[in-house]
């Protein structure tokens, strides 16, 4: 039996980052992975989807070349080549993680890991051989998968999840996307941009329901303008797959209707990978599909920890990474502060992009806070107009008395690269006046942040 200081179960953006930081801190580290290094994010999520979205964006640019005074004739797409490019990007990133494992002297153990009592993990390899390993600290980072609804049992062919959506052999002529969170909206944009007739069905009254209401309304307008059909306060109650395509029965306030399409993409959330990993062998406590942990990701059993999607925090790659780093730094007796889950940015990479952090206007008002709200549209931004991307705006929310930056919500081109300004400023407890007096470069999209703050304080110049 091999002994380690730290064993990490799962190699996604939580697991591999945790392993690297543990190695940097002088621990002898092993990481266990049943598939490809990098987990869902690098192989089937964050990275390959962005490659698909970029191809769709370039295709859209070429189709509208004349808007920029250019000519591009006979523009077409090769769907198979687009998918292959996405897979190539994912493969390259996974190989990058392999390099990082070697560089940091982390032992990679291939196989399916099962937790055992006494700080042990049993790993079954592809040949069925089992080997037991032990460590002083075992960190669970097994992530999550696409959640299935009883009315939408995924068959991988006509009712699919995000994995199949990234590797379809042929582009469907029509598609129903169930769920309008980040995954559903990104795929709806991609397939629509590539020429598929897309209908989005959302159970709640607005799409991207976790976002500020103004963001949801703007995105719905933009997506409808692009040709995406959107049905909110709607539920898919059943799907008939007996014919060539599918017939989805959708229940709305007006009654039931049947939508015919080639395929259904179920994007109704995620299910954590906590079954069959041995939690019951150890006695680790769970609640509602999550492993219970304290502020430093320690479970109720000493020596066992959990990070990422399997814990109650936001199911985001950057959250998993931050949790893993904090976890091992606490193990190393470093001084660490619990993660501030109120200052976690969220991003959706459709066109226009969405990025947000902190309270929405509705949440701030429900808390009874006296607030100042400022908005600045990209239609008034010189950089956005010159780039041909005037859709969207920046919205900021401040505490009226103390100037605390309570929330920032953006929709527009490249805003996922802009939101970090608000995250850092909130971390540093920067006030609205300090943002207003920090000179922003011109012409840039980021000027819209300063202008939105100025609008909140009745000092806006360009609106």
Q: Is residue 357 part of a domain?
A: yes
Backbone angles phi, psi at 234, to 5 degrees: -130, 150
Domain that holds residue 417: 352-456
Q: Looking at residue 463, what is its pLDDT?
A: 81
Same domain for 226 and 84, yes or no, is no
Q: Are residues 196 and 257 in the same domain?
A: yes
Q: Which of 313, 341, 369 is the last residue of a domain?
A: 341
| Residue 192: per-residue pLDDT | 97
pLDDT in tens, 84-94: 999 999 999 99
Q: What does the pLDDT average to over 96-115?
A: 96
Q: Identify whether the C-beta of residue 15 lies closer than 8 Å to the C-beta of residue 138.
A: no
Alpha-carbon distance of 164 to 191, in angstroms, equals 13
Mean pLDDT of 369-394: 96
**Structural domains counted in the chain:** 3
According to DSSP, the residues that pair with 178 across neighbouring strands are 201, 266
Assign 1 a pLDDT band (cuts: 50, 70, 90). Answer: low
Identify whether residues 53 and 139 lie together within a single domain: yes
**Reduced 3-state DSSP string for 82-143:** HHHHHHHHHHHHHHHHHHHHHHCCCEEEECEEEEECCCEEEEECCCCCEEEEEEEEEEECCC
127 and 276 together in one domain: yes
Position 45 pLDDT exceeds 90: no
pLDDT at 397: 98
Percentage of the chain lying above the pLDDT 70 cut: 100
How many other CB atoms are there within 10 angstroms of residue 462's CB atom?
12
Give the tens place of pLDDT for each residue, 136-152.
999 999 999 989 888 89
On whether both 306 and 197 belong to a single domain, the answer is no
Q: Are residues 23 and 64 in the same domain?
A: yes
Domain shared by 91 and 174, yes or no:
no
Q: Is the pLDDT reported for residue 11 higher than 70?
A: yes
Q: What is the mean pLDDT of residues 129-136?
A: 96
* pLDDT value of position 249: 95
What residues are annotated to the active site?
442
pLDDT in tens, 52-80: 999 999 999 999 999 999 998 889 999 99
Whether 209 shows a pLDDT value over 90: the answer reads yes
Q: Is 347 inside a domain boundary?
A: no
CB atoms within 10 A of CB 112: 17
pLDDT of residue 151: 86
| Residues 170 and 142 reside in one and the same domain | no
The pLDDT value recorded for residue 22 is 98
Q: How far is CA 19 from the centre of its chain?
A: 22
Does residue 462 form part of some domain?
Answer: no
Are residues 48 and 26 part of one domain? yes
CATH number at residue 255: 3.50.50.60
Q: What is the pLDDT of residues 321-368, one digit of tens each?
A: 999 999 999 999 999 999 999 999 999 999 999 999 999 999 999 999
Task: Give me the residues paired with residue 6 across strands.
Answer: 29, 137
What is the distance, to the nearest Å, from the Cα of residue 209 to the centroid of all Cα atoms in its chain?
14
Domain co-membership, 141 together with 277: yes
End-to-end CA distance of the chain: 69
Residue 327 in any domain: the answer is yes
Residues with Cβ within 8 Å of residue 171, at least 6 apart in sequence: 79, 191, 194, 195, 196
Q: Are residues 28 and 60 in the same domain?
A: yes
- One domain for residues 316 and 362: no
Residue 461: inside a domain, yes or no? no
Q: What is the mean pLDDT of residues 272-277?
A: 96
User: Is residue 8 assigned to a domain?
Assistant: yes
What's 409's domain CATH number?
3.30.390.30
Residue 236 lies in a domain: yes
Q: Which of 321, 341, 361 corresponds to the end of one domain? A: 341
152 belongs to a structural domain: no
Span 441-457, average pLDDT = 96
Residues 6+ apart with CB under 8 A from 379: 385, 390, 391
Rounded alpha-carbon distances, angstroms, from residue 429 to 118, 374, 453: 44, 18, 15
């Amino acid at each position: 039996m091999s002994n380690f200081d730290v064993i990490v179960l799962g190699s996604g953006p939580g697991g591999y980052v945790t392993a690297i930081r543990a190695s940097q801190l002088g621990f002898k580290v092993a990481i266990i992975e049943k598939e490809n290094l990098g987990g869902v994010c690098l192989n089937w999520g964050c990275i390959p989807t962005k490659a698909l979205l970029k191809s769709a964006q370039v295709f859209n640019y070429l189709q509208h070349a004349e808007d920029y005074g250019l000519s591009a004739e006979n523009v077409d797409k090769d769907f198979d080549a687009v998918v292959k490019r996405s897979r190539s990007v994912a493969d390259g990133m996974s190989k990058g993680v392999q390099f990082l494992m070697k560089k940091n002297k982390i032992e990679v153990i291939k196989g399916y890991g099962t937790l055992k009592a006494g700080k042990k993990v049993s790993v079954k390899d592809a040949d069925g051989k089992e080997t037991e390993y032990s460590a002083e600290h075992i960190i669970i980072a097994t992530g999550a998968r696409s959640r299935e609804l009883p009315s939408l049992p995924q068959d991988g062919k006509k009712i699919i999840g995000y994995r199949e959506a990234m590797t379809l052999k042929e582009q469907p002529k029509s598609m129903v996307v169930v769920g309008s969170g980040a995954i559903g909206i990104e795929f709806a944009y991609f397939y629509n941009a590539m020429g598929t007739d897309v209908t989005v069905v959302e159970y709640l009254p607005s799409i991207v329901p976790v976002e500020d209401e103004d963001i949801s309304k703007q995105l719905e307008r933009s997506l409808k303008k692009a040709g995406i059909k959107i049905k909110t306060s709607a539920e898919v109650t059943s799907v008939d797959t007996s014919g060539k395509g599918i017939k989805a029965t959708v229940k709305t306030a007006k009654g039931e209707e049947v939508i015919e399409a080639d395929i259904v993409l179920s994007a109704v959330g995620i299910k954590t990978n906590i079954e069959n990993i041995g939690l019951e062998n150890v006695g680790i406590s769970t609640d509602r599909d999550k492993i219970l942990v304290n502020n430093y990701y320690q479970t109720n059993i000493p020596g066992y920890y959990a990070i990422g999607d399997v814990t109650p925090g936001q199911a985001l790659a950057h959250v998993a990474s931050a949790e893993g780093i904090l976890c091992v730094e606490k193990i190393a007796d470093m001084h660490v502060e619990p993660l501030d889950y109120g200052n976690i940015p969220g991003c959706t990479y459709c066109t226009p992009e969405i990025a947000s952090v902190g309270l929405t206007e509705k949440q701030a008002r429900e808390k009874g806070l006296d607030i100042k709200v400022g908005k600045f549209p990209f239609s008034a931004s010189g950089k956005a107009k010159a780039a041909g991307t005037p859709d969207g705006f920046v919205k900021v929310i401040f505490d009226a008395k103390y100037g605390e930056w309570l929330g920032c919500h953006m929709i527009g081109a490249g805003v996922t690269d802009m939101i970090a300004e608000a995250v850092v400023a909130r971390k540093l407890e920067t006030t609205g006046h300090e943002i207003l007096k920090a000179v922003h470069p011109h012409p840039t999209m980021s000027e819209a942040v300063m202008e939105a703050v100025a609008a909140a304080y009745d000092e806006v110049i360009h609106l």
